Structures are given as C-alpha cells and as structure tokens.
C-alpha cells in the first residue's frame, strides 16, 4: 500500500527532475538572440485576385532594437490602370491611429467600419489618395483602435499553454502582443471617396482572408 510519505517523495523526485531538465536546457542549448515571436518574413508575391503584382520592396524606415517596428515591406499592384500600394508592417502595438501618425504623412482622421467575419478597419482620404488601415491579428478579427486590439488579445490569451515553452526559454509566459499592420492606398482620380472606399474594401476583404489564414507560416 502506497503511503502519503512515498507519494510526497515521488512528487519531489518528479519536481527535481523537471528542474534539472530545464537547467540543462538553459546551460547546454544555445540561447536565442531574438525572441521567436519577433521574427517575421514577408512573402515575395502574396496573391490578390484580379490584381497584378508590379513590385515588392523594403520600406526605407529604419528598424531599431527598441522600436515597436519589427519588420516591413511594400507591395504594389495594378488593375485596369489603377495602382494599389500596400504597406505591411509587423509591429508590437495595435493602435493604428498612432502608427499612421508615426509612419505616414496622413493628418486626416479615419472613419472606422466593421465587417462581419473580418473585423474593424479605418478609411480616409489624404492628398487625393484614399486609404484603408487595420491590424491583422494572429487570433480573432482585425482591429483599428488600441481598445479593440487589447480586448482581442485578452480574449485569446491562455498562459498555461505557454508554461513549458516559457520554462525552456522558447516563448514568453504571456502571449506577445503583435499585429500585422496593413495600410492600403489608391489614388482618387475622378472617383468619389465613397466609390474608392468600395474598391479598397473589396481588396481588403480578400487580402485579410489570405493573411489571416497564412499568418503562422511567416
């Protein structure tokens, strides 16, 4: 018959084994110079129905170690003579208004809309260009405001699932708050802002579905 004393000894042995295992990982495995959650590689040619990719290039803004900006790229597409510019940035924050002020020359306020199954996004006009801006999240729908972003994160966080990876130094205990900030823009030409918004929204819905489905691959 197993006594409580023996059970306690077994538990202590199990605990010591786990501690030694983690210690071995820390001492003998090479440490990662960068958090895995900070690494993001943009694909060269993401598909966009009815649009032809013209170029893929790196954005000029400098990425620093203490910056909220982790990675960035620019895609340019064309459809029936209409150019489409898509700036993609992997960032540590989810306040799109703040990101727009810092990384663009836009001064106008965006109108926030919501699409079922997609999420929130902002629309606006600046210097004869219409734009659409939003954060694509690994979990949940797209967001625009910091409140929406934080609520989305809180609903999805499950720290206990990250406990072992955290002990092994492979992940943080709490899920890192990251988003893929997407900024689309097209010239107004002879169209009204509302008509151009419809073009941007059609592009955005397709673009969002592709990235949200494939985000973990990159």
pLDDT of residue 183 exceeding 70, the answer is yes
| 33 CB-side CA count, 13 A | 1
> Does 167 lie in the same domain as 94?
yes
> Does 106 lie in the same domain as 14?
no
CA distance 76 to 60: 15
Q: Average pLDDT, stretch 40-65?
A: 88
Number of structural domains in the chain: 2
> Does 109 lie in the same domain as 15?
no
Residue with tokens 């673009």: 207
CA distance 84 to 1: 75
The answer to whether 135 and 208 are in contact (CB under 8 A) is: no
Of the candidates 182, 185, 202, the residue with the CA atom closest to the CA atom of residue 106: 185
Output the pLDDT for position 215.
78
> Does 77 lie in the same domain as 148?
yes
Output the pLDDT for position 27.
44
- Paired sense of beta strands 179-187 and 69-79, if any: unpaired
> Does 143 lie in the same domain as 69?
yes
> Does 44 lie in the same domain as 111?
yes
> Does 40 lie in the same domain as 26?
no
The answer to whether 207 and 115 are in contact (CB under 8 A) is: no
> Does 62 lie in the same domain as 4?
no
> Does 196 lie in the same domain as 127?
yes
> Does 56 lie in the same domain as 2?
no
**Enclosing H/E stretch for 23:** helix 4-28
> Does 166 lie in the same domain as 62?
yes
CA distance 70 to 36: 12
Residue span of the structural domain in which 59 resides: 36-217
User: What's the whole-model pTM score?
Assistant: 0.76
Confidence bin at 160 (pLDDT 50/70/90): very low
pLDDT of residue 218 exceeding 50, the answer is yes
> Does 44 lie in the same domain as 24?
no
Q: How far is CA 84 from the centre of its chain?
A: 21
Rounded mean pLDDT of the chain? 81
Helices (H) and strands (E) in the chain, counts: 5, 7
């Amino acid at each position: 018959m197993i006594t409580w004393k023996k059970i306690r000894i077994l538990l202590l042995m199990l605990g010591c084994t786990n501690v030694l295992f983690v210690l071995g990982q820390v001492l003998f495995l090479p440490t990662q110079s960068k958090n895995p959650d900070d690494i993001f590689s943009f694909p060269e040619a993401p598909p966009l129905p009815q649009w032809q990719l013209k170029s893929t290039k790196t954005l000029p803004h400098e990425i620093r170690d203490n910056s909220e900006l982790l990675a960035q790229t620019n895609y340019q597409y064309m459809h029936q003579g209409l150019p489409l510019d898509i700036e993609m940035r992997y960032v540590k924050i989810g306040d799109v208004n703040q990101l727009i002020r810092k990384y663009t020359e836009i001064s106008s306020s965006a109108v926030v809309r919501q699409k079922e199954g997609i999420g929130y996004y902002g629309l606006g006009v600046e210097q004869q260009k219409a734009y659409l801006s939003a954060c694509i999240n690994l979990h949940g729908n797209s967001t625009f405001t910091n409140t929406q972003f934080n609520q989305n994160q809180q609903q999805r966080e499950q720290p206990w699932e990250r406990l072992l990876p955290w002990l092994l130094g492979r992940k943080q205990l709490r899920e890192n708050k990251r988003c893929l900030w997407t900024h689309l823009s097209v010239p107004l030409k002879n169209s009204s802002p509302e008509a151009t918004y419809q073009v941007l929204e059609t592009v955005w819905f397709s673009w969002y579905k592709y990235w949200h489905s494939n985000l973990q691959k990159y």
